[in-house]
Copies of this chain bind each other. A is one copy, B any other.
Amino acid sequence: MNGAESLQRTLLNCGVDTCFMNPGTSEMHFVAALDNVPGMRSVLTLFEGVATGAADGYGRMTETPAATLLHLGPGLANGMANLHNARRAASPIVNIVGDHATYHRKYDAPLTSDAEGMAATVSKWVKVSQSANDVGRDAAEAVARSVEPQRGVCTLVLPADTAWGEADGPAQPPPPATPMTIDTELSHVAAAALRGEGRHVLLIGGTALLSEGLEAAARIAAKTGAEIFCDTITARMERGAGRVKIRRLPYFPEAVEQTLEGTTTLVLAGTRSPVAFFAYPDKSSDLTPRGVNPIQIASPSDDPVSALRTLAEVLDAPPFKSIAQTACAELALPALPTGDLTVDNIGKTIGALLPEHAVICDDSATSGVQPFVHTATSQPHDWLLVTGGAIGQGMPVGIGAALARPDNKVICLEGDGSAMYTIQSLWTQARENLDVTNIVFSNRSYAILAIEYKRLRGTTPGTRAHDMLDLTRPDLDFVKMAEGMGVEAFRCETLDDFNSRFAYCMQERGPRLIEVILPPHRG
């Protein structure tokens, strides 16, 4: 077999059976191998940022990697912003980048570029295969490193001659890495602090926000009175009815400081001490409560679930069953709202009609806050955010989530500005007939920037600055754009209309888009 077939068979041996791609000439042998090797689901995207975002969504939902297939350095470059988000989400991804044949590189043909250098900025592991025979082993290593010992983006650069050259055969998965050990000394330090007086805060992130971690955190909270918080921006959180109630830190630094004021003990699991998203003149970057020395029982690259469980044991915390009723949210749906078409009311409608086990991909900046609030006691669901701050991530992540969870509804919350970054996602949603409802909040501005402008400058923008934050002249028509990519779409200008369209989208399967017309935001 050739290297391309060895790659496909190795990926399947290692459990990787989904590949998001936009290939080119240097990847044609990998594409050809699809016909020889059954079992790989290959999903075409019209732009690489869609492919990498989809792999991120898939990795977040399954905790196992999907592969990508990108076309040399420029294809990788187009996918890098969403790989940056994936890096921050610690998503497992096997990021495959085709390249010129090894012997062709020295001729510096037009597409020659430093793919390895680019990849290094967003990957935890980068390798360039040197021959067809190396491809299987390298691919198996990429899969293994993408999940162990911590998850992340592993980039494998495959020169074209490693695809068409002869290979011995596919590789088997390497033996699993040694599991991470828990620093029990730290657990005792944390336990001692939590047993003391004062305001105790348990700030958790990463996989600690899935049920098992949340349950361990709830046990600690029940025993010590600690309050459970998560970061402002998290990769994936299991929440809603029957899930452990926790609070989310706010976005702006002064609000974080206010929220955490009076904290005496800060225990961190799967995250770091809070920092400001951006710096502001004369404001702190480090948001650790004054005088507090945080105790980090698990860093973002450790295993926070085991660390929380160990801490619960050290504290002799009650079993989860005995505290579940108070720790968990009870199902309490907001009433279907009436009145004006506002983000708050839209949030209530989503909260009221959200189906069980939906996945919400929130790329909506200012507009996602109220929907998050109003779904706190809705049917159980997953909430995914833009971990790296690079917008244009929601609809691609929705593609990956929908493929990972074919029986669940996916809802993408998009700002108009965010949606335009990777609008090509809609075509792949249509092609794969994915069960995704996209909600675009058309406030016709980069509303977050109008707010930030005022915070930074103390004034509203002048005419020329405002123009750079404004999405009018012309207004975007997302219904036409969606229809142009084969996705059924609706424009809603009243709440009644939104309520009925959203209800329809929740009842029917398949991709749809609802454009919500909001008043333009002026900071």
Contacts and interface: CB of A to CB of B under 8 A. Distances in A.
B103 A279 contact: yes
A431 B427 CA distance: 25
A117 B103 CA distance: 25
Interface string A458-483: 00011111011111011111111101
Nearest to A88: B110
A468 B104 contact: no
Nearest to A19: B468
B81 A449 contact: no
How many copies of this kind of chain does the complex include? 2
A242 interface: no
A110 B233 contact: yes
A47 B388 contact: no
Contacts of A483: 477, 480
Given A278-B104, A481-B484, A74 B78 contact: no
Contacts of A392: 47, 78
A476 B426 CA distance: 11
B464 A42 contact: yes
Contact of A468 (B23, B121, B477): B23
A452 interface: yes
Contact of A389 (B110, B427, B448): B110
Contacts of A285: 101, 103-104, 107, 109
B164 A453 contact: no
A390 interface: yes
Contact of A427 (B46, B104, B109, B474): B474
B110 A388 contact: yes
Interface string A157-190: 0001100100000000000000000000000000
A125 interface: no
Nearest to A46: B420
Contacts of A343: none
Interface stretch (A30-38, A144-152, A254-262, A313-321): A30-38
Contacts of A88: 110
A483 B467 CA distance: 21
B486 A475 contact: yes
B449 A23 contact: yes
A205 to B, nearest CB: 12
A28 interface: yes
A510 to B, nearest CB: 12
B84 A276 contact: no
A1 interface: no
Contact of A109 (B85, B100, B277, B431): B277
A80 interface: yes
Contact of A44 (B28, B118, B468): B468
B111 A389 contact: yes
B421 A46 contact: yes
Contacts of A28: 449, 452-453, 456-457
Interface string A358-399: 000000000000000000000000000001111010000000
B107 A25 contact: no
A415 to B, nearest CB: 12
A35 B463 contact: yes
Contacts of A35: 461-465
B278 A452 contact: no
A335 interface: no
A73 interface: yes
A69 to B, nearest CB: 9
Interface string A242-281: 0000000000000000000000000000001001111101
A47 B458 CA distance: 27
A49 interface: yes
Contacts of A111: 277-278, 388-390
13 contacts: A25-B449, A25-B456, A29-B456, A32-B456, A35-B464, A73-B84, A77-B77, A77-B81, A80-B80, A113-B122, A118-B121, A431-B473, A477-B486
Closest 5 CB pairs of A and B: A474-B486, A35-B462, A480-B484, A74-B390, A77-B80
Given A72-B389, A74-B389, 6 more contacts: A29-B457, A34-B462, A73-B84, A477-B486, A478-B484, A481-B484
